[in-house]
Amino acid sequence: MAHTTRKSSARKKKTVTARAKRPERRLVVLVATRKGAWLFHGDSARKAWKSDGPHFLGHIVNHLVLDPRDGRTLLAAAKTGHLGPTIFRSTNLGRTWEEASRPPAFAKAPAGKTGRAVDHTFWLTPCHANEPNTWYAGTSPQGLFRSEDNGDTWAPFSIVNDDPQYRAWMGTVQDGTPDGPKMHSIIVDPRDTAHLYFAMSGGGVHETRDRGRTWSPLVQGMEVVEGFDASNIAFHDPHCVRLCPSNPDRLYQQNHCGIYRLDRPSNIWTRIGSAMPKAVGDVGFPMVVHPRDDNTAWVLPMDGTTVWPRTSPGGKPAVYVTRNGGERWQRLDAGLPKSQAWWTVKRQAMAADAHNPVGLYFGTTSGELWMSRDEGRRWTCIARHLPEIYSVEAAPLD
């Protein structure tokens, strides 16, 4: 027995040592801002960061995403204050860029009809390894597009852009966010690439199981602003939807009206933000999920009272974590400003890496890039004085 214990102990020690020796992969943190994009290259310990930028100085870059399938192709969704929207592509981590030869654009309207024009591409989602070179894009006003040639040419995808019912749910440009209505949170089920989700601000969460031939709203359980009819899909405003990589049947959502969780096959969202402190509330933009634990998720609340200041509540920013699927929430603010910090974090501007412990990153509307190496227990500012940050993504490099 004692011999067995020693063996077991030795084996355990060996395993621990092997794990400790395995180097974590280097990371790049991709930061898209109102005035350009930056790449922050980190070492494997995530302690030293080297800035590469600005790329596209003066461009409004809504999303900058690295293709996890090859680890070197970047797509940037960009426009300027004057020029129309486009997609820039790099296959060498941003050393050189090429412009898409056909960026996302709506179909030309028939004569006598007023057609929509893409104001900007807002969201980029790479597909999975079994659909190489394939990407999805969501635009403002709301439109869904697909590229099958690594972002060079884009075409409207599925019936959504022109379907009369979906157009009614999308509303007009006046019905969306101050910066225009958005198509976002395009999610591909890692088990089935015909199973997709997207969300619209406003216009609800939607799902297809047949690669976009048909779509269904997925809004049961989601609340809307008091006085409005929750059965009207147009009134639903999901801010950010995330699927758990460790359990693709679980989704989390930060909504205009609370924080939610959905466990499939159920179609009913459960409001889990009710457990947040009442003084803070459960309004915000981003939501981030743990790469290996479907009970752990993070949010960064903002002030959604009165005229919707969209600042950190009371000027005291904090991340909140749940480690039990939303039953309880814990405040994580060590290292963050204790007062008079009136910024917030937009829906694409918070991300997690896959290290152990997980690293968290967020970019603020005031141009600061913050990170935590220990799942939010302690925060460090790694860049200041950037333009307003629109998106942050953390990606491993080979």
Quote the least distance from Cβ 79 to another protein, whole Å: 8
Nearer to another protein, 101 or 172 (CB): 101
Nearer to another protein, 117 or 194 (CB): 117
In the chain, the amino acid numbered 46 is R
Q: Does 57 bind another protein (CB under 8 A)?
A: no
Quote the least distance from Cβ 59 to another protein, whole Å: 10
Nearer to another protein, 131 or 388 (CB): 388
For the chain, helix (H) and strand (E) counts, in that order, are: 2, 28
Nearer to another protein, 116 or 346 (CB): 116
In the chain, the amino acid numbered 157 is F
CA distance 304 to 286: 14
Nearer to another protein, 24 or 149 (CB): 149
- 266, 207 Cβ separation under 8 angstroms: no
Nearer to another protein, 141 or 286 (CB): 141
DSSP character for 153? B
Quote the least distance from Cβ 148 to another protein, whole Å: 20
Query: Residue by residue, what is the 3-state secondary structure of 158-179?
Result: CCCCCCHHHHHHHCCHHHCCCC
Residues 110-169 binding another protein (CB under 8 A) are 114-118
Element (H, E) at 392: strand 389-397
Q: Is 325 left (phi over 0), alpha (psi -120 to 50) or beta?
A: left
Q: Does 46 bind another protein (CB under 8 A)?
A: no
Contact region with another protein (CB under 8 A), list: 5-13, 77-85, 185-193, 207-215:
77-85
Give Dmax (Cα) for the chain. 87
CA distance 211 to 229: 30
Here the tokens at position 167 are 């157009």
> What is the per-residue binding string for another protein in 80-119, x denoting contact by CB under 8 A?
xxxxx-x------------xxx-x-xxxxx----xxxxx-
Size of the site for another protein (CB under 8 A): 20
Quote the least distance from Cβ 104 to another protein, whole Å: 9
**Binding residues vs another protein (CB under 8 A):** 80-84, 86, 99-101, 103, 105-109, 114-118
